[in-house]
């Protein structure tokens, strides 16, 4: 029987590693000493990492106690986040509120979710962005059992993509052009560009970039 794995490595881009960063990202094999120069190593290794919300909750509970905050022994991460939000004056943080309202906090904690929490609970870490590259791989050379993807998430933009997505786009473009359907080809490229534009958070900036792009393409 074939065994499939997923592994990733990346970095946090920040001013310094603080107790909040340690509590949130220790499950991602955090190493604040490498590679340095404002970056801290993170990884999710299939056979060794523990990125579960349960682990994150335990770490945040310990952090809250170190800060002298009272936490009910409910083991509910929503309770812990609420107490810490009050401590860090983040009760009105919309991104954190949306996360708490919509997340089930089951399985593994995503980097996007942890980034949102860290940005709300800034104890001097100055977290600006994260980036990573990951891959699926198999212990047997089977078709469609290998692939990769990457993501950059910062304060202004998120860009992500996968090798599967690139291959599928190429196949669809090839088919459209071979059949002479240039409208379909243009539609595929437009969808790709629209996805990139959607990653820009600020609506005003997004529209300005889109307008500039139209001018460049028509020049």
C-beta neighbour count of 100 within 10 angstroms: 17
- Domain co-membership, 106 together with 209: no
How many alpha carbons lie under 13 Å from residue 114 in its C-beta half-sphere? 26
- Domain co-membership, 143 together with 181: no
Element (H, E) at 213: helix 203-218
Look at residue 205 in the predicted model and tell me its pLDDT: 99
- Domain co-membership, 100 together with 183: no
Range of the domain at 184: 162-218
Look at residue 162 in the predicted model and tell me its pLDDT: 97
Q: Could you tell me if 73 and 57 are in contact, meaning their C-beta atoms sit under 8 angstroms apart?
A: no
- Domain co-membership, 24 together with 124: yes
- Domain co-membership, 25 together with 88: yes
- Domain co-membership, 183 together with 102: no
Give 10-residue mean pLDDT values along the chain (219 residues).
91 99 98 97 93 96 95 84 97 97 94 98 99 94 91 98 97 99 98 98 98 94
Look at residue 51 in the predicted model and tell me its pLDDT: 94
Distance between CA atoms of residues 186 and 8, nearest Å: 33
- Domain co-membership, 23 together with 106: yes
Please name the residue that has the structure tokens 């499939």. Answer: 4
C-beta neighbour count of 204 within 10 angstroms: 8
Boundary (domain end) residue, out of 127, 154, 181: 154
Positive or negative torsion for Cα 178, 180, 182, 185? negative
Look at residue 202 in the predicted model and tell me its pLDDT: 98
- Domain co-membership, 93 together with 175: no
Look at residue 155 in the predicted model and tell me its pLDDT: 96
Domains in the chain, number: 2
Boundary (domain end) residue, out of 103, 138, 154: 154
- Domain co-membership, 85 together with 113: yes
Look at residue 3 in the predicted model and tell me its pLDDT: 87
Boundary (domain end) residue, out of 154, 188, 209: 154
- Domain co-membership, 108 together with 23: yes
For 104, left (φ over 0), alpha (ψ -120 to 50), or beta? alpha
C-beta neighbour count of 149 within 10 angstroms: 17
Strands (E), the chain: 4-13, 31-35, 39-45, 129-138, 147-153, 158-162
């Amino acid at each position: 029987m074939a065994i499939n794995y997923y592994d990733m490595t990346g970095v946090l881009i920040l001013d310094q590693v603080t107790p909040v960063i340690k509590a949130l990202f220790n499950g991602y094999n955090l190493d604040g000493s490498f590679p340095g120069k404002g970056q801290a190593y993170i990884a999710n290794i299939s056979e060794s990492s523990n990125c579960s919300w349960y682990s994150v909750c335990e770490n945040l509970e310990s952090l809250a106690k170190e800060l002298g905050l009272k936490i009910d022994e409910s083991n509910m991460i929503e309770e812990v986040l609420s107490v810490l939000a009050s401590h860090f004056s983040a009760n009105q943080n919309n991104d954190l509120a949306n996360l708490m309202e919509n997340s089930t906090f089951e399985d593994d904690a995503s980097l996007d979710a942890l980034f949102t929490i860290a940005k709300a609970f800034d104890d001097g870490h100055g977290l600006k962005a994260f980036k990573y590259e990951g891959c699926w791989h198999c212990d047997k050379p089977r078709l469609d059992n290998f692939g990769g993807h990457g993501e950059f998430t910062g304060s202004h933009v998120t860009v992500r993509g996968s090798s599967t997505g690139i291959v599928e786009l190429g196949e669809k473009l090839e088919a459209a052009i071979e059949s002479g359907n240039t409208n379909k080809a243009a539609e595929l490229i437009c969808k790709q560009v629209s996805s990139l534009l959607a990653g820009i958070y600020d609506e005003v900036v997004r529209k300005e970039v889109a307008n500039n792009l139209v001018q460049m393409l028509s020049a």
